[in-house]
Amino acid sequence: MGEWSVHEVAPTLEVAVEREMPALGAALECEIEELWAEAQVRLGGALFNGRVFSADRIAPRRVTGHFTEFRRIVAQVARPALFRALGLRPLAVNGVVRLRDGILIGRRSARTAYQAGKWQMPPAGSVDPGAADAEGRIDLAAQLIKELREEVGITAEPQWVGAPICIVEHPGSHVLDVGIPVSVPMKGAAALALHARLGDGEYDPMRVVAEADFPAVLVELGEAVVPPAAIFLARLGVL
């Protein structure tokens, strides 16, 4: 499939909407609808066709793009050759959550449409229109905090949200994971309890790993860990 690509970004990275979602031909729409229907059957009808941000241009200081239907992204993930026609690069915020005694890592549920059963740094989620202001500027930190509440169950405001680390692009689906460090003044046991009570089931299980133990844990999990996790941890000096 190829190597994951790393896009370097500036600490002051801006993300903005610059165009509307393009129309597609009838044959392509039909193919997308068939793949969407197959995914709905496979995942028990759990998918919602909302709008998510897809990057058109990626530069260190500015990423621009448009909001597209989620069903188009699901189709491209299922059939990567559709990238030639769709050109989608869906952007996902990907937190590296530092707690008082470790960093969160979680295994994606088997019911997810993307990388089911893989371990990654939670939370992670697409950028939806609620993260954009009236001028189309996207607040990545706000999107990350929203995902932290929904997926992990941590409702308290983070102590600190850092600058983007880098953007890592999947070679097949072209999903873009932008790593963002976040500090939460909470012990791991409390975070795991919140996840068990308030999390949305995106991760099962969730673990808290001491920073010194991460090299051994990544060896233990092996290929079940998505490459962006190791890239983000290395950039933060954990590995």
Phi and psi at 30, nearest 5°, equal -65, -45
The domain containing residue 157 runs over which residues? 5-235
CB atoms within 10 A of CB 128: 16
What are 175-228's pLDDT values in tens digits? Answer: 999 999 999 999 999 999 999 999 998 999 999 999 999 999 999 999 999 999
Cβ atoms of 98 and 184 within 8 Å: the answer is yes
196-to-189, 191, 207 alpha-carbon distances in Å: 11, 9, 11
If residue 64 lies in a helix (H) or strand (E), which one and from where to where? strand 62-69
Beta bridge partners of 216: none
Q: Say which CATH number the domain at 14 has.
A: 3.90.79.10
| Amino acid identity at 32 | I
What are 94-120's pLDDT values in tens digits? Answer: 999 999 999 999 999 877 767 778 999
**Position 1 pLDDT exceeds 60:** no
What are 30-48's pLDDT values in tens digits? Answer: 999 999 999 999 888 888 9
60-73 mean pLDDT:
97
Beta bridge partners of 208: 104
Residues 179 and 232: their CA atoms lie apart, in Å, by: 6
Give the tokens for residue 142: 């706000």
pTM given for the model: 0.94
Burial of 140 (0-12, 13-18, 19+ CB in 10 A): buried
Question: Residue 138 has what DSSP assignment?
Answer: B
User: Max alpha carbon distance in the chain (Å)?
Assistant: 54
Q: What is the count of structural domains for the chain?
A: 1
